[in-house]
Structure 1
């Protein structure tokens, strides 16, 4: 298909849509009030009011997620100032996230509690995740290994999927520049405590150039997926069975040292998640939750004939005991068995590792004081036992002002590839270990203004890196330190809103006294607009300072981008929406590609799009 968009035409469409609206509702003030009572689950593995969490946690809400089905998962994270998203090009290209200055594999990504980090490589295939069935995204900043084990040094990003609340069906289509389109179809059923859901989606894009070398070509991408869910929710017991799959092909160019040239490459991917959950209220004060899940991740390099397959099976049982009206204790055990296999012409290998974690967490909650303290023992096939702990407290001086502080240790186990794959592997690697400190406050002035700030420090020992001497293999050679601060301010009145967040971090290798790569010192995010039940128009500005890349002679310059979003609910059954990502078509540099001629990966440029949703 051939689709051409001009900015003036798109702006005209937005104006036309807004011109037909006739009524205004004071919805944003209601949203501001509701945010004080937002329920989150990531910080405690059970429902908890966000204002009581003794840590910094932010929510990417449904209204943000629903702005654009075309938006990639990484696009949804960009407005979070504490996260630096590094995407090597546009759709389907390699993507990493650096939370609070920690490494790209120090952030744990979950979907309803299921780990999406491929523990063969330690990273998450963020560029291959589908955004079709997301209720909200919870971003927990700071260590979380007590509850979740390895990888959670910098924090946790958890995808909370939707559960049907009523019977309905919908069709959505969005088309945009670069011959990009996405179509969705779904149906929900909810009646008498039973629910069921089915979703299907397809995305295609001709893509954009992913580097700034003179012979770069556009790198296309296609993706399709399916998901289904069924369950029962009773007051004293319930269960759910959830399945999702996603597959596609990504084309890209890379520098080849053997031929000293750029070559066209491609890989196909396939991932699926199966999750069975059940809960039972055993008595008025004791609840049991159980989960069995499987995550499969398959990546095939079409040009180099390399296939990597990863399977993780998880089994979890948790008990929550209420101790009177103000205290509770969570006790749980999680077992994982990991299987990974890489087939390639010269050095194929297969490995299996098992790990079991035992954790306990105590919470105290009253009108003014909220505390949380936990301990975890992790037993790993390769590195043996490992212990971590965490403690946090939040004190409410009054209903609108509170301060919090926490301290916690965390760890990241060496990946299977670190231990066994390739000439640089080292089977004697130790886990990376961290300790973090944080203090902050939150202030809700009234129904319109809220703000908060925090400062933190994270020290990481046994950082895994390449040795500086022969044979230059991986080793626990570095110590890193991240020192930072963040602040936010929100304002909302009637239909209008304004929110901004700022993050500063200095991330250094303490052994060499040098800055760590791909960590911009400063990030600023600003969003403003008007929204109500019938229409909305908003803009988001994201600005980042420069960052070091590869060595002292290479760096990625700072940049700023502007996104525009609008929607119009024509009637209860039809919604029109439009988006312009990166209005100015700013071709900012994302990362140095390591070539001899100083070429950089660049972002995907502007993407203007229009869409419609028809609901029944």
Structure 2
């Protein structure tokens, strides 16, 4: 007998009173392996800089429609949107700015060196196999940009034969298709997938925007990825990969000099390709040599025309050594060349960075130690040395207690340094990198505990913030910020109901003015509930946020009220291969903004059919 799914959703609300019901668990497996936290493959339970892991199954079950929505539902993560599908999105972790979080795709830097951000709005969830999120400064392993943390996206691919096809349709003629295949034998594996999306989205702006136009702002996206790896002989593997995503987004252009309005278009593409050779010289010593190429290009047409392209060539050599049954050490060399081009002249169009870094991860007598150190030589601003240190001990009967000190920095963008001059902007080649110091204290559940949980206090100080100075009409190192806060998360199962929740309370302050940092809320969090009823799976999630100011001086006109958004989802599996999903977003049709003049998406319903053959 089938159980009606929406009846199951209603029943979720009554479970809190069932105190006599036994508790069971569904926290992440203790065998989960992560690479982002230490740049080496380590069990998540063996790292002090915890990595949040989002698997393909999590993406399928979440009922969210974009990468931004997935990230937003994790502790410490905020999103500033500018409208609907394809419109620019800003990612902030623990109060750090959009340009202060490093985003990697299959290990390749994916951002723009002209403006310093990554267009995550053009990375569809259909392209993603797995995501790892590590919060806090990680420049001691990755160099520039890793002040708020690192988000690494792994594109589709499995180590077993697999075929998938999905198609969906929803509100605003939102159509999506995706398909892919993977294969493997004893020595070879490959992956190939592609897809696209087309949606006739409503206007991204509202009447509070000077550029508002009532027309619609359609969005189109096409993407593909391919991977191949071969085991050449015992201990030697070579792998190649590539990915591509292109988005075409219409937006409301501001009136030109004659007062005419235009329907502007952003045509943006992200491309990456890499090759990696992994060699085990002898047991306990593994060497990885890799080359990666990343390109971000955006062309804007309409009232004004512009074109910006970033190319990043990076070569990395990492040697990893097993130092003890629970310990690993690594040393690496890295070279990065960043090049920009544009229809506007830059006084300098490239820079080279050479780096050496090392790290240790040790366990002895139940104590844990992690440390890393990196030296960067940038031909634009000179030298930068950053370090990180973590120490953890077990708390009998409770969990693991740890403390972390970390340093980060962000190099100025090419636009800040060498961008085209105008009557309103002058580049500043004397800018220094932004730099940060962070302290963190945390306690988390022991691996294999009935419930997974973690609580963290963080204190991040950022100096030499790069901001626009109206007096000089250029960017200057004039600001300081301090972000202090507490975040807590929990996940487990209660009488068959999977429960995941998190809450962040923070104080993101501009220390020069005493005002709150632009676009940050003081508190935000999510709760997600889901349960299986035979072949049916139902889910309900609530996302809440306090108010924020879309200005640097907390002007009342820029105040954006807090909000709560409810989403619901239902999945029905015909058999092991076929599934149908119905997803309702913003179920209560809440009207809210995360940036002044840009409405968040209204209520929508999406239907998706998926075929999976394993």
TM-score higher than 0.5: yes
Total equivalences in the alignment: 586
Segments of structure 1 that go 5 or more residues without pairing to the other structure are 1-11, 19-27, 593-599
For 1:124, the equivalent position in structure 2 comes to 118
Q: 1:133 to 1:266 in 2, by over 3 A?
A: closer
Matches within 5 A, 1:72-471: 72-213=66-207, 215-233=213-231, 236-256=235-255, 258=257, 263-303=262-302, 304-344=304-344, 347=345, 351-366=349-364, 368-398=366-396, 401-423=399-421, 424-444=426-446, 448-469=450-471, 471=472
SS in 1 for 2:58: helix
Residue 45 (1) aligns with residue 39 (2):
yes
Residue 601 (1) aligns with residue 595 (2):
no
Segments of structure 2 that go 5 or more residues without pairing to the other structure are 10-21
Q: 1:367 to 1:563 in 2, by over 3 A?
A: farther
For 1:483, the equivalent position in structure 2 comes to 484
Q: 1:193 to 1:434 in 2, by over 3 A?
A: same
Q: Residues of 2 paired with 1:198 and 1:67: CA distance?
A: 22
Q: 1:534 to 1:231 in 2, by over 3 A?
A: farther
Render the CA deviation track for 1:367-419: whole Å, top value 9, x for unaligned. 62211111100010100111101100121234761101000111000111110
Q: 1:62 to 1:83 in 2, by over 3 A?
A: same
Q: Cα distance, 1:39 vs. partner?
A: 1.8
SS in 1 for 2:70: helix
For 1:527, the equivalent position in structure 2 comes to 528
For 2:537, the equivalent position in structure 1 comes to 536
Q: 1:399 to 1:203 in 2, by over 3 A?
A: farther
Q: Residues of 1 paired with 2:420 and 2:402: CA distance?
A: 45
Render the CA deviation track for 1:138-192: whole Å, top value 9, x for unaligned. 1111000011111100111111234322223221101111000110111111111
Q: 1:372 to 1:446 in 2, by over 3 A?
A: closer
SS in 2 for 1:66: helix
Render the CA deviation track for 1:580-608: whole Å, top value 9, x for unaligned. 1211222211212xxxxxxx111121221
- On the 8 A contact 2:110/2:270 being kept in 1, the answer is no
Q: 1:328 to 1:401 in 2, by over 3 A?
A: same
Provide the aligned C-alpha RMSD in A. Answer: 2.5
Q: Residues of 1 paired with 2:292 and 2:23: CA distance?
A: 40
SS in 2 for 1:529: strand
Bigger mean CA deviation after superposition, 197-206 or 266-275: 266-275
Render the CA deviation track for 1:545-574: whole Å, top value 9, x for unaligned. 000112423211111111112222211221
Render the CA deviation track for 1:187-228: whole Å, top value 9, x for unaligned. 111111311111110100001221221743221100112211
Q: 1:55 to 1:262 in 2, by over 3 A?
A: farther
Q: Cα distance, 1:112 vs. partner?
A: 2.2
Q: Cα distance, 1:431 vs. partner?
A: 0.5
Q: 1:556 to 1:237 in 2, by over 3 A?
A: same
Q: Cα distance, 1:260 vs. partner?
A: 6.4
TM-score normalised per structure 2: 0.90
Residue 585 (1) aligns with residue 589 (2):
yes
TM-score normalised per structure 1: 0.90
Q: 1:69 to 1:498 in 2, by over 3 A?
A: closer
- On the 8 A contact 2:26/2:498 being kept in 1, the answer is no
Bigger mean CA deviation after superposition, 61-70 or 435-444: 61-70
For 2:611, the equivalent position in structure 1 comes to 614
SS in 2 for 1:178: helix
Q: Cα distance, 1:351 vs. partner?
A: 0.1
Q: Residues of 1 paired with 2:459 and 2:396: CA distance?
A: 28
Render the CA deviation track for 1:505-548: whole Å, top value 9, x for unaligned. 11111112221100000002100121488431111110000001
